[in-house]
Chain A
Amino acid sequence: MTIGIVQFGGSNCDLDVLHVLKGVIGVDAELVWYKEEDLSRFDGIVIPGGFSYGDYLRAGAIAARTPIMASIKELADTGKPIIGICNGFQVLTESGLLDGALTTNNYPKFRCEPTLLRVETNDTPFTSKFKKGEIVSIPIAHMEGNFYADEETLSKLEDNDQVAFRYVDKDGKVTDEANPNGSQENIAGIVSAKKNVLGMMPHPERASEEILGSKDGLRIFESMVEFISKN
């Protein structure tokens, strides 16, 4: 099993993800420069966080239109698991692999802090190792994380069980105070209709070892690895 971690100019969480996959979980993973188009050797892909292309035009907009994204779409079509974290989530919405858009935080500030998330479904390749409704702690670090979709898209996401994570308070309640960026319905992460593409603003790679204060994020990668080994 080999998982590819995409590097665009300006990606900056690529090595953290590599460390978690290789160093903490112990699976084979390698960095892939965005000019590569043949991704056939990979069983899964991570698009890490950062500021691809300096967030020029819109966060993720330029990266979404690079040739590697066409190859990632092909992999997604074959059912392989793809995770986009933070800037990676922005790349996935900009490329049309995921619904909606990520716009400027409702209070236009870069927010870098722990957040509590409620796991809304464990019926995805990325959340199978969680209990539905479980509350986990995974930090955010973004200024454009305000999830927006029109009413029709939002109800489709809800009806198809495509909302993976929501920002909640310590009692698991969806409140405005627990929402760090103004996202509709406190949405922190969604999956594609076929469930094999996940986008999330919080950074699971920053919550994958005890020393970091939380290991909750590790289970996202472990779920992905288990999905790959079973398929």
Chain B
Amino acid sequence: MQYQADVTIELKSGMLDPEGTTIKRALEHLGYETDSVKTAKKYTIDLQAESIHDARETVEQMCQKLIANPIIHNYAISLRELQ
């Protein structure tokens, strides 16, 4: 079966997000007041797996071994079956 995973990587709460802070400031220049702006990265991964459970396990391993840095990041995986 073919699956598609959306992996979202974000900085752990409490960590400085200089890019988000810069965007927040730029929004203020345009007249938009915000409480905060946080950046995140999304990776879309298409893969073959026996089941959605196997696909999730594989993508979890990918996140732990490479895509996220557990010292600074949290990650979330959203999976769907592709037709």
Binding site for B on A (CB under 8 A): 57-58, 61, 65, 94, 100-101, 103-108, 146, 148-150, 182
Q: Which of B11, B16, B18, B19 has the most C-beta atoms of chain A within 10 angstroms of its own C-beta? A: B18
B18 surroundings in chain A (CB, below 8 A): 104-108, 182
Question: Can you list 20 A-B pairs with a CB-CB distance of less than 8 A?
Answer: A57-B67, A58-B69, A61-B69, A65-B65, A94-B69, A101-B71, A101-B72, A103-B11, A103-B15, A103-B72, A104-B18, A104-B19, A106-B18, A107-B18, A146-B16, A148-B15, A148-B71, A148-B72, A149-B71, A182-B16
Number of inter-chain CB pairs below 8 Å: 34
Contact surface of B with A, Cβ cutoff 8 Å: 11, 15-16, 18-19, 22, 65-67, 69, 71-72
Question: Which listed residue (A65, A94, A100, A106) contacts B16, Cβ 8 A?
Answer: A106
A143 and chain B: residue at smallest CB distance: B18
Interchain CA distance A61-B64 in the complex, whole Å: 12
Q: Are A57 and B66 in contact (CB under 8 A)?
A: yes
Specify which chain A residues have a CB less than 8 angstroms from the CB of B15 in the assembled complex: 103, 148
Question: With A105-B18, A106-B18 as given contacts, are A100 and B71 in contact (CB-CB < 8 Å)?
Answer: yes
Told that A101-B72, A104-B16 touch, could you supply 9 new A-B pairs with CB distance under 8 A? A58-B69, A61-B69, A94-B69, A101-B71, A103-B16, A108-B22, A146-B16, A148-B15, A182-B18
Q: Complex Cα distance A101/B19, Å?
A: 17
B9 shortest CB reach to chain A, Å = 9
Q: How far is the CB of A73 from chain B (nearest CB, A)?
A: 15
A119 to B72 alpha-carbon distance, docked (Å):
27
In whole Å, how far is A87's beta carbon from the nearest beta carbon of chain B? 15
A174→B24 CA distance, assembly (Å): 30
Considering the chains assembled together, what is the distance between the CA atoms of A137 and B26 in angstroms? 35
Please give me the residue from chain B that is nearest to A153 by CB atom: B71
Q: Which of A108, A146, A150, A182 sits near B19, CB closer than 8 Å?
A: A108
How far, in angstroms, from A106 to B22 measured CA to CA in the complex?
Answer: 10
Complex Cα gap A57–B7 (Å): 13
Q: How far is the CB of A52 from the nearest CB of chain B, in Å?
A: 14
- Tell me the complex Cα distance, A106–B19, Å: 9
In the bound complex, how far is the Cα of B18 from the Cα of A137, in angstroms? 27
Please, how many angstroms separate the alpha-carbon atoms of A101 and B12 in the complex?
13
Q: Given contacts A106-B18, A182-B16, are A65 and B72 in contact (CB under 8 A)? A: no
- Report the minimal beta-carbon distance from B53 to chain A, rounded to whole angstroms: 26
Contact partners of B67 in chain A: CB under 8 A:
57
